Amino acid sequence: MSAKKKTRFAMSADGKLLAGEGGGEALQSLAETDSIEEIEVEIFPQILGGAKTPTLTGLPGEFLPKPLDFRMTSMKVVEGRCLATFRRVSDRAC
């Protein structure tokens, strides 16, 4: 991850990740170690980026070694944005 980007994580007392911000590169690092239990996606009515903009799975051309399955647990509209929450479908522990 480049030094220019800020990554923030909140951890619980037992060491579990509660929340993280950092964009596609941070998410890809967590996904590669199978460390994601829940994802909240906020959809804004705005398009950003360009050909080299990181995606949810990292920089263009990079892919995860295997798919991660999630199911939607909630969706609501908040101030003109859509907030969807997805929970990991798996019996593995984070």
Range of the domain at 64: 8-88
Q: What is the pLDDT of residue 77?
A: 92
Q: What is the pLDDT of residue 74?
A: 93
State the number of CA atoms in the 13 A half-sphere of 37 facing the CB: 8
**Number of domains comprising the chain:** 1
Query: Could you tell me the CATH number of the domain that includes residue 56?
Result: 3.40.430.10
In a domain, 93, yes or no: no
Low-confidence ranges of the chain (pLDDT < 50): 1-4, 93-94
Q: Tokens standing for 10?
A: 């909140």
Q: What is the pLDDT of residue 75?
A: 92
In a domain, 47, yes or no: yes
